[in-house]
Copies of this chain bind each other. A is one copy, B any other.
Amino acid sequence: MIVIDWGTSSFRAFRIAIDGAILDRRSAPRGIMHVEGGRFAETLRDHIGDWLKAGENRVLLSGMIGSRQGWKEAPYVPCPAGAAELGAALVDIPFEGAQGNVQVKLVPGMNGVDASGIAEVMRGEETQIIGALAAMGGNGLACLPGTHSKWVRVAGGRIARFTSHMTGEAFGALRDHTILGRMMKDGAPSDAAFDAGVARSAEPGGLLHHLFGVRTQTLFGKLAETGGASYLSGILIGHELRAELGGAQGETVHLIGAPELVALYARAIAASGAKAVSHDADASVRGLVIIGEHAQWS
């Protein structure tokens, strides 16, 4: 089987053995926003054509490739759901292989509602969670930090509910398009400034007030200009954590994602008194393999 984590900015393909082992892997900066004119089939042939020629005939995709801007829009599977529900809801994509018999299927995203009944959506993270389920013991709280961070409650081996935070994207917009960025200088990330930002998030006044303080702390020399980005990051991640962990300080948070970002979140979680466990970045591969085992291949 071939499994592919195909997101907005990157394409990561894995050739998987019968026993689930990774035989080969490839990645390319060919996320859906870098594929022009809907040429997804061509992109697939370009990158894994030789695996198909070698006889692989099952391809499972997950991520934003299943969104409206992707190859084909896959309907969301509602919470609660696990690998069985996702595997039963795969979407077939017509694809002409070299030998005519390749099946390409798409893992659907999931939707739900938050505590106030407002809609939530994810695409790709559900697959990472499925891949981390065993390590989580089938229960607990997972956090997948990123552009749109996800906090996912897992119960009985299924995804029970989740919430999103626009932390990563807000960070980029505030750093690159407000006065805050004009006072920042490039430099190595600063742990001390990040920690100060996380601590700041616990003080009164709210996020919008804390943002203004990034400016004045630099203006009055309390914060080095090279530490501004780390301080801002700490404030935003701190606010995200406080919103999610307000009533659950004793809980363990399972972090899944890119190692640098997972390390930052682990640092902030430790500072706020909760516990964090970091999972490796191949959770999506394991998730795809597990979901693929629940699929109806012809």
Contacts and interface: CB of A to CB of B under 8 A. Distances in A.
Contacts of A163: 205, 209
A206 B209 CA distance: 14
A169 B176 CA distance: 12
Interface in A213-271: 213, 216-217, 219-220, 222, 236, 239-240, 242-244
B164 A119 contact: no
B208 A165 contact: yes
B115 A222 contact: no
Interface in A134-170: 148-149, 163-167, 169-170
Given A166-B208, A205-B163, A207-B239, A118 B173 contact: no
Interface residues of A, number: 46
Contacts of A167: 208
A37 interface: no
A277 interface: no
A176 to B, nearest CB: 7
Contacts of A211: 165-166, 170
A150 to B, nearest CB: 10
Contacts of A208: 149, 165-167, 170, 207, 236, 239-240, 243
A298 interface: no
Contact of A219 (B119, B203, B209): B119
Interface of A: 114-116, 118-121, 148-149, 163-167, 169-170, 172-174, 176-180, 200, 203-209, 211-213, 216-217, 219-220, 222, 236, 239-240, 242-244
